Structure 1
Amino acid sequence: MSQLIETCKKLKKATQVLVIADTREKNKALAQVALSLQKNTEFILQENKKDIENARATGMKESLIDRLSLDKKRIEDMIEGINTIIDLKDPVWKSNDVWTLENGLTISKMTVPIGVIGIIYESRPNVTIDAFALTLKSGNCILLRGSSTAIHSNRALVMAVKEGLRNSSITEDVIGFIDDVDRAVVKEMLILNQYIDLIIPRGGDELIQFVVKHATVPTIETGVGNCHVFVDESGDIGKALNIIENAKTQRAGVCNACETILIHKNIANEILPKLNNRIADRVELRGCEKSRSIVNMNEATEEDWSIEYLDFIVAVRIVDSIDEAIEHVNKYGTKHSEAIVTENLNNANRFLREVDAAAVYVNASTRFTDGSQFGFGAEMGISTQKMHARGPMGLNELVTVKYTIMGNGQIRE
């Protein structure tokens, strides 16, 4: 029997215990894990340093090394995320929908855990803790498969989680970790329908498409973010510059960073030189012909409109109208996060209604599309599909429903 099957069997068995665990037990277990993370901070950072050194040795770009890196502040953020999840309402065995039929049957639509959730993710060791905390609170078990680039960090984090669980009433078997970096193990994981109820790939387009192509286990697509900021002709220049700078430069290697800037033709001559002065020392601008007639920048090709750069590069296009902006976003966007800067209420409402994305902003940075920023404590990922879950996936997206029917001997005629 493979190690993966053995781990999955333990997870499946643990779901039977976790499904009846009360909120107090789960919260106490999470609190112990938070304490364990704090206690093991130095060891986790030492192990993370190994991953960073390996990444630099292989030539990984700095924007992606940023996603891989941990420091005391980021571990404190993980602990804060756990504490937020502790404070959130337990999503399990709740119902806002109860009714009684004429025959006396009372039907309740109850929330229940999904079961065993597998997550396959690249770099970002914080996902290890986010995924564990959310699944435990929502009554699910988690199977983690991180990337080889974060193997030392993930091992250390899982060790800390298990140590914390051993000081609680919740079995450490609620978390499983695939220590084998061979991609063949991922392929095996994707077809274990008898053990795994849902798989969430979190990473680049190549990873997501690999999972979608090979999985027989149900999947939720997350993460790829070709995000836009559109500056409408009524947009406030100061707001627009601040929003674009934040959306592009705060963290370039994340899925909610801006990758394309659209500018209405009537405001382009005013804003483009100011934008160039603001970010060109850090960001490579690639523009359409009209953009390049105003500011000196590299030429954007058709391919640039579709790229998730995850780097300090941004595409710039001047559009004739809000209609053209919406058409561009819906053609090239990945249904992740889109923003309009405008003082026109009608245009704001049109953008909110007509743009097809999980998160649509008016006068705010796309960088807010994040479970912690939305008040969820953490996220399993940002779903860009439309079935079951869309946007940042928190506790309420990790439960399904069960109908319970109470009768008194009724039979169907």
Structure 2
Amino acid sequence: MQDSAAFASLSGALGSKTMSEDATQIVAAMTAKARAAARIVARASDAKKADALLAAAKALRAAAPTILNANAVDMEAGAANGLSAAMLDRLKLDDSRIEGITSAVEQVAHLADPVGQVIDRSERPNGLVMERVRVPVGVLAIIYESRPNVTADAAALGLRSGNAVILRGGSEAVHSNRAIHAAMVEGIVKAGLPADAVQLVPTQDRAAVGALLKAQGQIDMVIPRGGKSLVARVQDEARVPVLAHLDGICHTYIHAKADPAMAEAIAVNAKMRRTGICGSTETLLIDQDYPEPARLIGALLDAGCEVRADDMLMELDARTVPAEEADWGTEYLDAVVSAKMVSGVDEAIEHIARYGSQHTESIITNDDTAAADFLSGVDSAIVMHNASTQYADGGEFGLGAEIGIATGRLHARGPVALEGLTTYKWLVHGSGQTRP
């Protein structure tokens, strides 16, 4: 509520200025404070940062009733505004999810500090010693939708990696985000680090996003987490580096030599465990020589999944519906899967290359040669063998919380956690050398 009061006060002081001008001034003030805080956090000790996150986790637990009340307001508004079931699932908090958020913050606190890590070291013939050392990126802007857990995850990862963070959550989670942010800041301040190390943009004016994206020299990296339209806007308008996470059009390929029981269990889990997450399988590819395709399709249908199938697979079960061309490139985030018969590993790889988003793909097979071909031939951030794509998660990778799954090729790829929020600098140690 302090954020709202501050924004109202600032808006009144600015008088007749437009909301766009207000947002620009708000962002400029926030980035200046973030830059000052970043210098402090970058030099904070491992123990200091860990203590701050443990204190933040304690504050989150204590604030659970407040957070749940705030989330109930968001859920009611979301239902009234016609949010989809998948979006409401992303938005919803309960005791278990709050405990999960809190535990993720604690896990980040216990991770090794990447700042100061020597990546490599060499000595030149002239005696100069060259070291590449991890350092924080600086000031991060995280722009996200729906999931209030991102508020805690981003704050924790940013702080632990020595960065200052500016958070801009979606309007559908505004009350939840404010409650989580307040608890995080309470813990951070108790541990002696500046409140400005983690700031939440106090306005939902879309102009604030534009101001963040154009803050050259003030923000060092922008990370979008949300739907295609958000990411597209960030990539189109950003004047600062972007660490992008596009669609999660994930594939599970059932090879001819897959164990049927394993294939069925993984396919159902990969689609239906949680349909609204980016690691959910959206397309099932089945080898034409796989012995039990009807059983596989039936298992998904029995689990409540709509199967949009190609002509060959439609013949196996009357409950399927015909797939259209658009289905192969659709991220459903719902209990819907597209399914296609392929002639082998090569066609599976070709299909993924054409329609996929380079997120996460899995092959189910007992043939090590086929698995090796798939793992080397698929150019995605995460490629799996005999595992559910639902494991595409920083916590499952042992990285603690994650800021997202990066699907690009530069800086970081796959689950982005602490190391992905650092860069490096060169340290050169001499003993009086001068260059001839």
**TM-score when normalising by structure 1:** 0.98
In the TM superposition, what are the counterparts of 1:171-210 in structure 2 within 5 Å?
A: 171-210=194-233
Give the 3-state SS of the residue equivalent to 1:19 in structure 2. helix
1:112 counterpart residue number? 135
The CA distance in 2 between the partners of 1:101 and 1:61, in whole Å, is 60
The CA distance in 1 between the partners of 2:246 and 2:62, in whole Å, is 31
Match of 1:236 among 253, 259, 268: 259
User: In structure 2, what residue type is equivalent to 1:279?
Assistant: L
The CA distance in 1 between the partners of 2:435 and 2:181, in whole Å, is 51
1:44 counterpart residue number? 67
User: In structure 2, what residue type is equivalent to 1:293?
Assistant: E
Taking structure 1 as reference, are residues 379 and 181 closer, same or farther at Cα in structure 2, changes over 3 Å only?
A: same
Which digits, 9 at most, give the CA deviation of each residue in 1:357-412, with x for residues without a partner?
11111111000010111111100110001111000001111110110112233222
Match of 1:17 among 25, 40, 45: 40
Match of 1:217 among 237, 240, 245: 240
Q: Does the 8 Å CA contact 2:297/2:307 hold for their aligned counterparts?
A: no
Q: Does the 8 Å CA contact 1:8/1:176 hold for their aligned counterparts?
A: no
Question: Is 1:405 equivalent to 2:428 in the alignment?
Answer: yes
2:94 counterpart residue number? 71
The CA distance in 2 between the partners of 1:143 and 1:306, in whole Å, is 33
In the TM superposition, what are the counterparts of 1:44-193 in structure 2 within 5 Å?
A: 44-193=67-216
Displacement of 1:83 after TM fit? 1.6
Which digits, 9 at most, give the CA deviation of each residue in 1:289-318, with x for residues without a partner?
111122221110111000001111110101
Displacement of 1:51 after TM fit? 0.7
Q: Does the 8 Å CA contact 2:300/2:307 hold for their aligned counterparts?
A: no
Question: Is 1:259 equivalent to 2:289 in the alignment?
Answer: no
The CA distance in 2 between the partners of 1:307 and 1:207, in whole Å, is 16
User: In structure 2, what residue type is equivalent to 1:76?
Assistant: E
Give the 3-state SS of the residue equivalent to 1:120 in structure 2. strand
The CA distance in 2 between the partners of 1:277 and 1:90, in whole Å, is 44
1:357 counterpart residue number? 380
The CA distance in 1 between the partners of 2:183 and 2:255, in whole Å, is 49
Which digits, 9 at most, give the CA deviation of each residue in 1:247-294, with x for residues without a partner?
1111111110010111111226x2324432443451111111111122
Taking structure 1 as reference, are residues 92 and 241 closer, same or farther at Cα in structure 2, changes over 3 Å only?
A: same
Taking structure 1 as reference, are residues 281 and 104 closer, same or farther at Cα in structure 2, changes over 3 Å only?
A: closer
Q: Does the 8 Å CA contact 1:273/1:295 hold for their aligned counterparts?
A: no
Taking structure 1 as reference, are residues 326 and 371 closer, same or farther at Cα in structure 2, changes over 3 Å only?
A: same
The CA distance in 1 between the partners of 2:393 and 2:386, in whole Å, is 17
The CA distance in 1 between the partners of 2:372 and 2:209, in whole Å, is 43
Match of 2:304 among 259, 273, 282: 282
Question: Is 1:293 equivalent to 2:315 in the alignment?
Answer: yes
The CA distance in 2 between the partners of 1:250 and 1:90, in whole Å, is 32
Q: Does the 8 Å CA contact 1:228/1:260 hold for their aligned counterparts?
A: yes
Q: Does the 8 Å CA contact 1:248/1:259 hold for their aligned counterparts?
A: yes
User: In structure 1, what residue type is equivalent to 2:66?
Assistant: F
The CA distance in 2 between the partners of 1:134 and 1:274, in whole Å, is 39
Taking structure 1 as reference, are residues 145 and 126 closer, same or farther at Cα in structure 2, changes over 3 Å only?
A: same
Question: Is 1:384 equivalent to 2:407 in the alignment?
Answer: yes
* RMSD of equivalent CA atoms: 1.2
The CA distance in 2 between the partners of 1:235 and 1:407, in whole Å, is 58
Q: Does the 8 Å CA contact 1:223/1:381 hold for their aligned counterparts?
A: no
User: In structure 1, what residue type is equivalent to 2:313?
Assistant: S
Q: Does the 8 Å CA contact 1:151/1:179 hold for their aligned counterparts?
A: no
User: In structure 2, what residue type is equivalent to 1:116?
Assistant: V
User: In structure 2, what residue type is equivalent to 1:287?
Assistant: A
2:11 counterpart residue number? none
Question: Is 1:245 equivalent to 2:303 in the alignment?
Answer: no
The CA distance in 1 between the partners of 2:150 and 2:246, in whole Å, is 13
User: In structure 1, what residue type is equivalent to 2:140?
Assistant: I
1:4 counterpart residue number? 27
User: In structure 2, what residue type is equivalent to 1:153?
Assistant: S
The CA distance in 2 between the partners of 1:4 and 1:60, in whole Å, is 28
**TM-score when normalising by structure 2:** 0.92
Q: Does the 8 Å CA contact 1:50/1:152 hold for their aligned counterparts?
A: yes
